[in-house]
Amino acid sequence: MSGNAVRLQAIKDVEAYVPPAVSFDPGEEPGQIFGENVFSLNAMQKRLPKSVYKSVVATIEKSAPLDPLVADAVASAMKDWAMEKGATHYAHVFYPLTGLTAEKHDSFLDPVGDGTALASFSGKTLTQGEPDASSFPNGGLRNTFEARGYTGWDVMSPAYVLENPNGNTLCIPTIFISMTGEALDHKTPVLRSQQAMSAQAKRVLALFGHDEPENVVAYCGPEQEYFLVDSHFFLARPDLLNAGRTLFGAKPPKGQEFDDHYFGAIPERVLGFMMDTERELFKLGIPAKTRHNEVAPGQFEVAPMFERANEASDHQQLLMTTFKAIAKKHGMECLFHEKPFAGVNGSGKHVNFSIGNTTQGNLLLPGDTPHDNAQFLVFCAAVIRAVHKYGGLLRVSVASASNDHRLGANEAPPAIISIFLGDQLADVFEQVAKGGATRSREKGTLTIGVDTLPDLSKDPGDRNRTSPFAFTGNRFEFRAPGSQQTVAVPMVMLNTIMAEALDYCATELETAVAAGTDFDEAVQTLLAEIVANHGAVIFNGNGYADEWQVEAEQRGLKNLRTTVDALPELISPEAIELFSKYEVFSDREMHSRYEIGLEQYLLTLKVEANLTAEIGTTTILPAAVRYQTELANNVAALKAAGVEADLSLLQTVSAPIAELRAGLAQLATALSDLHDHEGIAEATFARDAVLPAMAKVREAADALEALVADDLWPLPTYQEMLYIL
Ligand code: ADP
Ligand code: MG
């Protein structure tokens, strides 16, 4: 096919497409399928000898070391359970530093030597695997000649059976480490940081009179935004296909200005997709709860109920895989890129964060009178200290080439990390600073003025959507993470910086008490000191305003605008000291993550730049030149006929064609000059020379899209892709 034939065919195919019926059984009880494919505590209790079950629970609930003898019994029960569910294979699932999910499948069958095979699965196979892992990113932690990597069973995250039309697989979440014990994945540091945070939180709880407190865990509720595009369009857009985002495309005449999509009626086809995904997620024990349209056309959101961070982060990865697979079944592509369409809202993943345990509940719950809830205030003050002291680490935890298109624009929080506390808490901490908090603003009621409607309760503080880190009543919502990234990275940062802050609080209080200071007085002194030294991070105003950039600088807050600015945070002396102290990352591991961050940034930019050059040269320029030729022929024909020819249209089209050529030349030069640089300098050059050249190419191409005859235009337009569902 040539010219615009691909685009026209895509439009025809989209129009003719009939979505599949949803496999929905009206007789099915809600909740009946929940967790059906999970080897949950419940399933284990039914199948394991009592002592084995108890031992597993002790590991999960109390972090007791796993008894190796137990593994054999669990493996055998797990295998039987999975085979009853149709599994023929098992897979150690791990989370390498590509940010994706990796799995290595093995059959349960082992040949027994007489030409037959027996299903077997031992404790050793359950607990340890050795994938050929030499091609996963390691940032210099391994050489190819010492390429061994091991996966290890994470008892804390339940195994599950993944259904596939061609056979089911038992999936076992695992960590992934090098032969020298260094983390090559995103799960290992979640577990290490969780342990570090718990140890310090327990010291604080002990000071508040809770003897031998239970482990404290981080909870994470990730809200996921995504776009859906019809597959026919997706396949006709090499940029979407290869880069996950459109590198070209003029703004549609109707954008999101009308705000008519947000929370609007969900289109039937999309609802069918959502129902299908929810069924799958339920089976896997993923508590998908909320679904709605998002701000941009074609954009939607799903929010599962919060869970322990380790499980939430595994579930999040599984959710993304499931969404992608089921979208395909419905003739659509699910886009998790942070900015698939320029000029329309991008996608984030809001990470709701709290800490707690089953006996003390949520430690970030203020109650109705936070001013006299000293324990809450200490935990909250720890968050303030952590975020102020280590804002740079939170910033780098969300840094990627793709999230750079979103952060700092007026739709996502700025790159400056600050905390929104809301009126009630901000007021309490102001009182603390002045010598002690004595009152809390009360919850109000909203009188509606309609007799038949009951009064609604009103929260003591409003929300602030412009803040990257906002208190929302019982948790903090970190709004900066990108939609396609793993939530593990922000969770590792949050756990580790909280470990440091809680360690500090516990040490201060323990020292004061040991010196004979009254406990309440010690708490007040600690809180006042934290507000004085770290209160600069609290900002309740408009984070999108230009004045905030200026004010934040005066307050000494970092404004790390791009990934290139943020990445060095990973190897700052303070960061290295912090992570070594709490045994989350060694110096080498930090450097490896920094190297991988750089490598991924550069790879992304190079792929995008090459695609821009290719599409610009082979698709857009030919269409524009054809149209230019048509116009020139028209002028010539008119002249030949003795009619006065108007050259203005030809000139209007010729100008952006010249710009496009110049842009492509500039891009080629930038790409070849890139090789003169290395490391951070190469990334900096890519940001400062390659990205602007790509923008120049795009600007000319988008101008041409508005000029070239529609029947010659080769790429599906924004209007077509965003409004057809
Ligand atoms: P909104 O869009 O109003 O921010 P949503 O209902 O879309 O709220 O999502 C809120 C997310 O926060 C959900 O994933 C929810 O489970 C999670 N959440 C609620 N309470 C907590 C908590 N204590 N800790 C962590 N996450 C929480
Ligand atoms: Mg939210």
Closest of 166, 155, 172 to residue 86, by C-alpha: 166
pLDDT at 100 over 90: no
Confidence of residue 363 (pLDDT cuts 50, 70, 90): very high
pLDDT at 56 over 80: yes
The listed range with the strongest mean pLDDT (57-71, 106-120, 168-182) is 168-182
| Tens digit of each residue's pLDDT (9 = 90 or more) over 634-643 | 999 999 999 9
Closest of 679, 718, 647 to residue 256, by C-alpha: 718
- The enclosing H or E element of 427 equals helix 422-433
Ligand nearest to the Cα of 353, by number: 1
Are the C-beta atoms of residues 496 and 193 closer than 8 Å to each other? yes
Q: Tell me, in angstroms, the distance from the centre of ligand 2 to residue 458's CA.
A: 18
CB of 290 within 6 A of ligand 1: the answer is yes
CB of 269 within 6 A of ligand 1: the answer is no
Pairing of strands 307-308, 168-178: unpaired
Are the C-beta atoms of residues 91 and 102 closer than 8 Å to each other? no
Q: ∠ CA 493-311-43 to the nearest 5 degrees? A: 160
Pairing of strands 87-94, 102-107: antiparallel
Confidence of residue 452 (pLDDT cuts 50, 70, 90): low
Alpha-carbon distance of 55 to 68, in angstroms, equals 10
| Tens digit of each residue's pLDDT (9 = 90 or more) over 579-633 | 999 999 999 999 999 999 999 999 999 999 999 999 999 999 999 999 999 999 9
- The enclosing H or E element of 282 equals helix 268-283
Q: Which domains, ranges and CATH numbers included, belong to the chain?
A: 33-185 (3.10.20.70), 193-599 (3.30.590.10)
> Residue 459's pLDDT is what?
65
Ligand nearest to the Cα of 305, by number: 1
Pairing of strands 117-119, 128-129: unpaired
Find tokens 């055998």 and name the residue.
76
Atom of ligand 1 nearest to the CA of 303: 14
| Tens digit of each residue's pLDDT (9 = 90 or more) over 168-224 | 999 999 999 988 889 999 999 999 999 999 999 999 999 999 998 999 999 999 999
CB of 223 within 6 A of ligand 1: the answer is yes
Closest of 233, 294, 244 to residue 266, by C-alpha: 294
Q: Tell me, in angstroms, the distance from the centre of ligand 2 to residue 627's CA.
A: 47
CB of 219 within 6 A of ligand 1: the answer is yes
Q: Tell me, in angstroms, the distance from the centre of ligand 1 to residue 418's CA.
A: 20
Alpha-carbon distance of 362 to 376, in angstroms, equals 9
Q: Tell me, in angstroms, the distance from the centre of ligand 1 to residue 364's CA.
A: 13
Please compute the mean of the pLDDT values over residues 657-678 and round it to a whole number. Answer: 97
Alpha-carbon distance of 280 to 275, in angstroms, equals 9
Atom of ligand 1 nearest to the CA of 305: 16
CB of 475 within 6 A of ligand 1: the answer is yes
Atom of ligand 1 nearest to the CA of 221: 14
> Residue 670's pLDDT is what?
98
> Residue 254's pLDDT is what?
65
Closest of 565, 316, 583 to residue 417, by C-alpha: 565
Ligand nearest to the Cα of 292, by number: 1
CB of 471 within 6 A of ligand 1: the answer is no
Atom of ligand 1 nearest to the CA of 353: 25
> Residue 598's pLDDT is what?
97
CB of 292 within 6 A of ligand 1: the answer is no
What ranges make up the beta strands (E) of 86-190? 87-94, 102-107, 109-111, 117-119, 128-129, 149-153, 160-162, 168-178
Atom 24 in ligand 1: which residue has the minimum CA distance? Answer: 354
> Residue 62's pLDDT is what?
83
Please compute the mean of the pLDDT values over residues 469-475 and round it to a whole number. Answer: 95
Q: Tell me the percentage of the chain whose pLDDT exceeds 70.
A: 93
CB of 51 within 6 A of ligand 1: the answer is no
pLDDT at 2 over 70: no
Atom 5 in ligand 1: which residue has the minimum CA distance? Answer: 303
Confidence of residue 466 (pLDDT cuts 50, 70, 90): confident
Atom of ligand 1 nearest to the CA of 222: 14
Q: Tell me, in angstroms, the distance from the centre of ligand 2 to residue 484's CA.
A: 16
Q: Tell me, in angstroms, the distance from the centre of ligand 1 to residue 58's CA.
A: 28
Q: Tell me, in angstroms, the distance from the centre of ligand 1 to residue 438's CA.
A: 30
Atom 7 in ligand 1: which residue has the minimum CA distance? Answer: 303
For residue 51 the two structure tokens come to 């002592």
Are the C-beta atoms of residues 588 and 417 closer than 8 Å to each other? no
CA quadruple 238, 244, 247, 253: dihedral sign: positive
CB of 306 within 6 A of ligand 1: the answer is yes
Mean pLDDT check: name the lowest of 320-329, 403-412, 488-497, 501-510: 403-412
One-character DSSP codes across 592-656: HHHHHHHHHHHHHHHHHHHHHHHHIIIIIHHHHHHHHHHHHHHHHHHHHTTPPPP-HHHHHHHHH
Please compute the mean of the pLDDT values over residues 342-350 and round it to a whole number. Answer: 92
| Tens digit of each residue's pLDDT (9 = 90 or more) over 284-339 | 999 988 777 777 788 999 999 999 999 999 999 999 999 999 999 999 999 999 99
Closest of 213, 162, 292, 236 to residue 14, by C-alpha: 236
Q: Tell me, in angstroms, the distance from the centre of ligand 1 to residue 306's CA.
A: 6
Alpha-carbon distance of 235 to 11, in angstroms, equals 12
Are the C-beta atoms of residues 685 and 674 closer than 8 Å to each other? yes
pLDDT at 578 over 90: yes
> Which residues are within 8 A (CB) of 37 and not within 5 positions of it... i.e. 6 or more apart?
85, 160, 161, 162, 163, 283, 284, 285
Q: ∠ CA 280-286-290 to the nearest 5 degrees? A: 90
Q: ∠ CA 63-64-70 to the nearest 5 degrees? A: 120
> Residue 23's pLDDT is what?
66
Please compute the mean of the pLDDT values over residues 215-236 and round it to a whole number. Answer: 96
CB of 463 within 6 A of ligand 1: the answer is no
CB of 352 within 6 A of ligand 1: the answer is yes
Please compute the mean of the pLDDT values over residues 252-267 and round it to a whole number. Answer: 62
Atom of ligand 1 nearest to the CA of 287: 16
> Residue 260's pLDDT is what?
58
Please compute the mean of the pLDDT values over residues 719-724 and round it to a whole number. Answer: 84
CB of 190 within 6 A of ligand 1: the answer is no
- Tell me the best of 471, 475, 495 to mutate to test the pocket of ligand 1, counting ligand atoms within 8 Å of each CB and taking the most: 475
CB of 305 within 6 A of ligand 1: the answer is yes
pLDDT at 446 over 60: no
| Tens digit of each residue's pLDDT (9 = 90 or more) over 116-172 | 888 889 999 999 998 876 778 888 776 655 667 899 999 999 999 999 888 899 999
Alpha-carbon distance of 133 to 124, in angstroms, equals 19
- Tell me the best of 217, 223, 295 to mutate to test the pocket of ligand 1, counting ligand atoms within 8 Å of each CB and taking the most: 223
pLDDT at 362 over 80: yes
Ligand nearest to the Cα of 473, by number: 1
Q: Tell me, in angstroms, the distance from the centre of ligand 1 to residue 221's CA.
A: 5
Alpha-carbon distance of 138 to 595, in angstroms, equals 9
CB of 448 within 6 A of ligand 1: the answer is no
Burial class (CB in 10 A: 0-12, 13-18, 19+), 255: middle
Q: Tell me, in angstroms, the distance from the centre of ligand 2 to residue 257's CA.
A: 21
Alpha-carbon distance of 14 to 8, in angstroms, equals 10
Q: Tell me the percentage of the chain whose pLDDT exceeds 90.
A: 72
> Residue 498's pLDDT is what?
98
Alpha-carbon distance of 177 to 183, in angstroms, equals 5
Mean pLDDT of the chain: 91
Confidence of residue 271 (pLDDT cuts 50, 70, 90): confident
Q: Tell me, in angstroms, the distance from the centre of ligand 1 to residue 193's CA.
A: 22
> Residue 257's pLDDT is what?
55
Q: What is the DSSP letter of 487?
A: T
CB of 221 within 6 A of ligand 1: the answer is yes
> Residue 458's pLDDT is what?
60
Q: Tell me, in angstroms, the distance from the centre of ligand 2 to residue 224's CA.
A: 9
Closest of 424, 444, 422, 436 to residue 374, by C-alpha: 436
Are the C-beta atoms of residues 714 and 619 closer than 8 Å to each other? yes
Residue type, 220: C
pLDDT at 81 over 70: yes
Residue type, 215: N
> Residue 454's pLDDT is what?
59
3-state secondary structure of 353: strand
Find tokens 């070849």 and name the residue.
672
The listed range with the strongest mean pLDDT (340-349, 361-370, 376-385) is 376-385
Q: Tell me, in angstroms, the distance from the centre of ligand 1 to residue 477's CA.
A: 8
- The enclosing H or E element of 224 equals strand 217-230
CB of 474 within 6 A of ligand 1: the answer is yes
CB of 464 within 6 A of ligand 1: the answer is no
> Which residues are within 8 A (CB) of 346 and not within 5 positions of it... i.e. 6 or more apart?
338, 339, 340, 405, 406, 409, 411, 412, 483
Confidence of residue 253 (pLDDT cuts 50, 70, 90): confident
Are the C-beta atoms of residues 98 and 593 closer than 8 Å to each other? no
Rounded to whole angstroms, what are the CA distances from 122 to 113, 381, 386, 448, 624?
18, 48, 44, 64, 64
**CA–centroid distance for 54 within its chain:** 35
CB of 719 within 6 A of ligand 1: the answer is no
| Tens digit of each residue's pLDDT (9 = 90 or more) over 388-401 | 999 999 999 999 99
Atom of ligand 1 nearest to the CA of 301: 7
Q: Tell me, in angstroms, the distance from the centre of ligand 1 to residue 261's CA.
A: 22
Pure H helices in 515-572 = 519-534, 546-554, 563-566
What ranges make up the beta strands (E) of 310-443? 332-335, 349-357, 361-362, 419-420
Q: Tell me, in angstroms, the distance from the centre of ligand 1 to residue 255's CA.
A: 29
Closest of 268, 265, 277 to residue 327, by C-alpha: 277
Atom of ligand 1 nearest to the CA of 362: 23
Ligand nearest to the Cα of 478, by number: 2
CB of 279 within 6 A of ligand 1: the answer is no
